[in-house]
Structure formats: structure tokens, C-alpha cells
């Protein structure tokens, strides 16, 4: 009997030791796997990329050095305890408002998603070329200046500075703003619709259209400026998108012909035919509801409204977001900035040819006040394709 008890105890102890060793082995394996995953996530390369603070500091210094070419303003808004401010840089050699309203107007936005650092670097490069501190290889400066004289260009170098700070704090996959809303889902066209694969971490549209201060600022800017060309610059792939994002439908008639020929020209000369062209909803693989570009086209009435995707690494894992959305080596970084800055200056040349030498002059009898939130700005009453004009409401 005593021998049986002894054997039973011995077997139990051996089994417990075996379980402990097994548990330690599993924990070690998990830790090794976790470390491997952590080590495989590419950190921000600050030898290539500027912090948001340094980048905006360089832009402010650039504007101060070239007051004859560049001006800058900071727009602010707040909602329920959350505030945002967005810097807007304007290129235009003529200061008189009447001269600006007779020119073609271009609005470019970068950094709407915090994790897409390369887009804000491109904004700085474009501004540096506009100031003539940097030159485009092979571009005749006198010829370029004659084109730029016809334009007023507003550049938003970083639409989502609060979200960018979250990324710089270590969450390299964050695309939303400082309170977790995707700014490219917070606009009113088809707002709030959720697809079957809806991911709130990626696509949270907010509690209402324009609930976010950043979107309010951009809406006000677009309506007051009335651009002829809008480009929302992103990364994640290489593509040239036109409306619509929220449905698998492209434009028809003259708008389709004009936009498609414009993008085909860009694709041929700068993408070497590798960029996808078409509607975002038809090509990107999912529908995006409440986007800025759909609003710019449908509500603001921008005749040429685009979303450009300037870089993507399809080999990166879904957790390695910095690598997925941003070039990580100097050669690729410089290539993206050189290629796409050249692309935008080609676009600046093409816009007058596509739209006409002179911008339409607005007639006062066609203008109506929007609402209190827009501080008395006026906009032209439009009824595009029989659609009802958006009812702007003050956000609280």
C-alpha cells in the first residue's frame, strides 16, 4: 500500500514538472514570437522623415523667406472639447482679390491620415519648388513661371496634425484624428453607411457629418476658395482616382471625358502606365462613404476632383504600417518625392488647357449665404444633375 502511494506521488510530481516545463516552453515561444513581431515592425526613420513639428517649422521658415510668393494662415475650430488647427499655404504672385478670382484655383491636401508621412514630405517639396529654393530637373523656370502666373494654389501640408502626433507617439497604424475619427469618412456625401467589412478602427465616420473640427475647417476653406482642381493626396498604393468613392459608378459625358483624359496624361508621363485610373469605389476594392473628394465634386462643384495614392508597399505585413505606407530607404524616398513633385507641376501646366485660361467670374445675383458657421462666406447656388443642394448646418 505504501509503495503504491509512493509511486502515485512520484508520477504526480513528474507530471507537474512536465506541465511546468511545457508552460515555460510555450511562454518562451510566445515571447519569442512577440519579439519577432515587434522587431519586424519598421519604425519611423527620422533620418529620412521630419517630425510633424520640424516639418511645419520648415514650412513656416520657407514662407518667411519668400513673402513675395507664399503666404500662410492657420485655421482653427473646436467641437465638444476637441480642437484642431490646420495650416494653409497659398502660392499666388498677385495679392489683389480681383486678380485671384480671375485665376484658376487649385486646392491640395496632404496628411489627412496620420500614418501617411510621405504625403506631408511631398507637400514640403512642392512648396520648396514653388518658392524656387528647389528646382525641377529639366524644367525651364521661365516657362514654369508663365504657367504659375495663371494659378492660385492653396496647399494644406498636414490636414491631420493631431493624428500625426498619435503616430509619432508609437501607434504607427493610426489613420484617424486625435479622437479616433477617420477624416475621410466624416464628409456628408453618403455619410455613415457601413459595409459588411466595416472596421471602426479604420473607418469610424464620427457621430455626424462634419462632427470633426478638421473637416469643418476643410469644408469652409473649399467653399470659400471654390477650387477648379482638388487633389487629396494619400499613400498605400499607386492610383489616380476620380469620383465616386461610395459607389461603383464613374461620371458620364464631358466630366468623365475631361477627367479621364487628364489622368491618362498623368499616368502616361509620370506613372509609366502603372497607376490605376478610375473611380475609387470601382477600383480600390471597397466602397468609402463620406469622403472629401465625393463632397468636393458633388456639393462644392469642383470640376476636377481627384484622390491620388502616391506610394504603397504590397509586400509589407498589415501590422508593418510605416513600411506599407511610406518608402523606408533613401533611394525610394527620393524617387517618390522627385516623381510626384514633377507630376504636380505637370498638372499645373495641364489645368489651364483642360479648364480654360480664365476662371469663371462669379455673379453676385447667383450667390446665397450659406449659414452662420461659414461666417458669411458666399457660394454659387448649384443644382448639379438635378440634385438638391446640401443643407449646411452648424455643428455643435
Active-site residue (options: 309, 365, 380, 390): 309
Is 309 one of the catalytic residues? Answer: yes
Of 157, 168, 160, give the one whose Cα is nearest residue 61. 157
CB 90 within 8 A of CB 126: no
Within 10 angstroms of residue 159's Cβ, the number of other Cβ atoms is 30
Q: How far apart are CA 90 and CA 70, in angstroms?
A: 6
Within 10 angstroms of residue 265's Cβ, the number of other Cβ atoms is 15
How far the first Cα of the chain sits from its last, in Å, is 82
Residue matched to cell numbers 509619432: 168
Within 10 angstroms of residue 299's Cβ, the number of other Cβ atoms is 21
Residue matched to cell numbers 468636393: 296
Residue matched to cell numbers 466630366: 255
CB 327 within 8 A of CB 118: yes
H/E stretch holding 21 reads: helix 2-40
Q: Is 237 helix (H, G, I), strand (E, B) or coil?
A: strand
What values do phi and psi take at 309, rounded to 5? Answer: -110, 120
Active site residues: 309
Amino acid at each position: 500500500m505504501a509503495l503504491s502511494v509512493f509511486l502515485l506521488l512520484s508520477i504526480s510530481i513528474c507530471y507537474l514538472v512536465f506541465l511546468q516545463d511545457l508552460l515555460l516552453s510555450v511562454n518562451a515561444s510566445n515571447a519569442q514570437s512577440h519579439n519577432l513581431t515587434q522587431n519586424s515592425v519598421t519604425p519611423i526613420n527620422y533620418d529620412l522623415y521630419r517630425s510633424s513639428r520640424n516639418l511645419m517649422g520648415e514650412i513656416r521658415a520657407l514662407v518667411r523667406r519668400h513673402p513675395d510668393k507664399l503666404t500662410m494662415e492657420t485655421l482653427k475650430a473646436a467641437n465638444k472639447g476637441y480642437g484642431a488647427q490646420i495650416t494653409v499655404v497659398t502660392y499666388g504672385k498677385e495679392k489683389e482679390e480681383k486678380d485671384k478670382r480671375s485665376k484658376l484655383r487649385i486646392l491640395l491636401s496632404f496628411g489627412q491620415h496620420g500614418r501617411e508621412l510621405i504625403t506631408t514630405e511631398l507637400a514640403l517639396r512642392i512648396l520648396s519648388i514653388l518658392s524656387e529654393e528647389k528646382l525641377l530637373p529639366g524644367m525651364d523656370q521661365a516657362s514654369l513661371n508663365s504657367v504659375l502666373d495663371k494659378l492660385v494654389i492653396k496647399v494644406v501640408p498636414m490636414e491631420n496634425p493631431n493624428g500625426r502626433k498619435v503616430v509619432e507617439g508609437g501607434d504607427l497604424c493610426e489613420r484617424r484624428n486625435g479622437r479616433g475619427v477617420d477624416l475621410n469618412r466624416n464628409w456628408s456625401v453618403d455619410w455613415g453607411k457601413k459595409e459588411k467589412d466595416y472596421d471602426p478602427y479604420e473607418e469610424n465616420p464620427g457621430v455626424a457629418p462634419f462632427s470633426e473640427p478638421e473637416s469643418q475647417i476643410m469644408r469652409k476653406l473649399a467653399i470659400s476658395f471654390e477650387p477648379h482642381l482638388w487633389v487629396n493626396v494619400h499613400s498605400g498604393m499607386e492610383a489616380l482616382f476620380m469620383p465616386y468613392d461610395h459607389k461603383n459608378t464613374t461620371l458620364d459625358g464631358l466630366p468623365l471625358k475631361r477627367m479621364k483624359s487628364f489622368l491618362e496624361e498623368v499616368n502616361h508621363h509620370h506613372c509609366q502606365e502603372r497607376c490605376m485610373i478610375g473611380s475609387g469605389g470601382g477600383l480600390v476594392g471597397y466602397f468609402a462613404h463620406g469622403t472629401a473628394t465625393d463632397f468636393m465634386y458633388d456639393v462644392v462643384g469642383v470640376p476636377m476632383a481627384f484622390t491620388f495614392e502616391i506610394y504603397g508597399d504590397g509586400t509589407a505585413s498589415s501590422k508593418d504600417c510605416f513600411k506599407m505606407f511610406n518608402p523606408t530607404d533613401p533611394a525610394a524616398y527620393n524617387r517618390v518625392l522627385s516623381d510626384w513633385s514633377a507630376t504636380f507641376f505637370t498638372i499645373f501646366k495641364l489645368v489651364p488647357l483642360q479648364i480654360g485660361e480664365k476662371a469663371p467670374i462669379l455673379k453676385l445675383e447667383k450667390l446665397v449665404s450659406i449659414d452662420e458657421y461659414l461666417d458669411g462666406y458666399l457660394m454659387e447656388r448649384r443644382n448639379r444633375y438635378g440634385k438638391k443642394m446640401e443643407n449646411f448646418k452648424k455643428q455643435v
